[in-house]
């Protein structure tokens, strides 16, 4: 038991968790051990307690609901240089192209000479990029949004100027607040490089203070990076909602699902399936997880509506569709939508969520739906 505790403590320290947090988790685990009757029960209790404590430390207790339907959607990205902001910005626009929107990017980055060309390259040929030779980012953003509204674009993503990590990032957020007053975004997204670990705390705290009601965070560089878990933890600690984007999909972050995948433990994984290198993550696993979430009823009402919709969609699927989602055709997507009485886009979003959870941690996933053609 001591060796196991040392391993857990060492893993948390390697992941850049603060010593106080590590001590609290260790104390909680030690409290549960005396109540176990045998070694097997002790092992189960240790893992269950560790799971619950990780969930508690990684849960922002706010869900980033990003499915609100508006006539015009304006999203503003901010972040320090090297965080992956511009790449994430372009991927976010491409993701919403698949969702049926007409996205466009506005390059309000004025510090870098090649920012416009770089954003164009990342965006690809199907997402236009608006640029200008003006020096004022606010003017560029306002002009760009006005032009794009006239062109009937309904999803406008604004990429803003960044600053070097060693510069005073708090002044960056003050500047971004001024820009937001001009842009009037529905959503402001801060991109944080996960490799900085718990150093992300002050960034997240300042950002959350300025953009309390419309700010969410994306932590990049999660895969294979232990410190990214600590970065997620400090963002959660200040109450910032999170979006997961590591797999190319953009879905609201849920702490329990994240930790479930992170630990890959037979007692804790969906449907009590043991997760190993040959484990195949199916829609049945996602169904079991969402059924548990809906039963608990602890999430915001909007998110419960999404969960209920996904459950309805999966309940309307045939056995073969649940077991072999990679073979679901676009025609079947329409059939599933009709059977579950939802829009085809909802089925595509459900499948995109499945792909994200299946692929985020390298588990084999079984889906290749061409959502862009639905």
pLDDT number for residue 277: 39
pLDDT tens across 87-98, in order? 999 999 988 888
CA distance 220 to 46: 30
Q: Are 73-253 and 258-373 equal in CATH topology?
A: no
CATH superfamily of 258-373: Signal recognition particle, SRP54 subunit, M-domain (1.10.260.30)
State the burial class of residue 70 (Cβ atoms within 10 Å of its Cβ: 0-12, 13-18, 19+).
exposed
CA dihedral sign of residues 186, 192, 194, 200? negative
| Pick from 110, 222, 100, 207: nearest CA to 159 | 110
| pLDDT at residue number 300 | 46
DSSP conformation class of 270: G
Integer Cα distance of 214 and 181 in angstroms = 13
pLDDT, tens only, 211-249: 877 889 999 988 778 889 999 999 999 999 998 887 677
Helix (H, G, I), strand (E, B) or coil at 252: strand
Distance of alpha carbon 233 from alpha carbon 22, whole angstroms: 12
Identify the CATH number of the domain defined by range 73-253.
3.40.50.300
Nearest-angstrom CA–CA distance, 29 and 49? 6
Q: Give the chain's residues under pLDDT 50.
A: 166, 265-279, 298-302, 361-374
Contact 312, 351 (CB under 8 A): no
Q: Residue 275: its pLDDT value, please?
A: 36
The pLDDT value recorded for residue 238 is 92
Q: How far apart are CA 284 and CA 322, in angstroms?
A: 6
Phi, psi dihedral angles at 298 (to 5 degrees): -100, 0
Domain ranges of the chain: 2-58, 73-253, 258-373
pLDDT of 271 reads 41
Q: What is the pLDDT of residue 172?
A: 74
pLDDT of residue 219: 93
| Residues 198-212: tens digit of each pLDDT | 999 988 998 988 887
| Residue whose C-alpha is closest to residue 355's, from 371, 332, 374, 340 | 371
């Amino acid at each position: 038991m001591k060796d196991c505790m040392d391993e857990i403590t060492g893993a948390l320290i390697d992941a850049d968790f603060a010593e106080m947090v590590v001590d609290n988790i260790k104390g909680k685990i030690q409290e549960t051990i005396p109540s176990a009757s045998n070694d097997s029960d002790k092992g189960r209790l240790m893992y269950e307690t560790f799971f619950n404590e990780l969930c508690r430390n990684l849960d922002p207790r706010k869900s980033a609901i990003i499915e609100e339907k508006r006539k015009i959607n304006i999203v503003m990205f901010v972040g320090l240089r090297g965080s992956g902001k511009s790449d994430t910005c372009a991927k976010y626009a491409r993701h919403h192209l698949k969702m049926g929107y007409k996205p466009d990017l506005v390059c309000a980055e004025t510090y870098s000479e090649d920012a416009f060309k770089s954003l164009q390259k990342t965006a690809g040929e199907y997402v236009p990029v608006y640029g200008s030779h003006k020096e004022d980012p606010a003017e560029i953003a306002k002009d760009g949004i006005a032009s794009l509204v006239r062109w009937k674009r309904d999803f406008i993503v604004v990429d803003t100027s960044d600053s070097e990590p060693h510069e005073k990032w708090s002044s960056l957020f003050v500047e971004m607040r001024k820009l937001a007053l001009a842009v009037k975004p529905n959503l402001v997204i801060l991109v944080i490089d996960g490799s900085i670990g718990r150093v992300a705390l002050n960034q997240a705290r300042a950002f959350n203070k300025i953009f309390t009601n419309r700010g969410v965070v994306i932590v990049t560089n999660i895969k294979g990076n232990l410190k990214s878990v600590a970065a997620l933890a400090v963002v959660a600690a200040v109450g910032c909602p999170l979006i997961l984007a590591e797999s190319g999909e953009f879905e609201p972050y849920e702490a329990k699902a994240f930790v479930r995948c992170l630990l890959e433990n037979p007692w804790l994984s969906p449907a009590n399936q043991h997760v190993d290198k040959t484990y195949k993550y199916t829609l049945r696993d996602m169904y079991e997880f969402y059924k548990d979430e809906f039963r608990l009823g602890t999430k915001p009402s909007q998110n419960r509506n999404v969960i209920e919709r996904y459950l309805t969609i999966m309940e309307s699927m045939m056995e073969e569709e649940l077991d072999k989602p990679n073979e679901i055709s676009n025609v079947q997507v329409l059939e599933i939508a009709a059977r579950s009485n939802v829009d085809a886009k909802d089925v595509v979003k459900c499948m995109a969520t499945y792909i994200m959870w299946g692929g985020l941690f390298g588990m084999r996933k079984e889906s290749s739906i061409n959502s862009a053609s639905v």
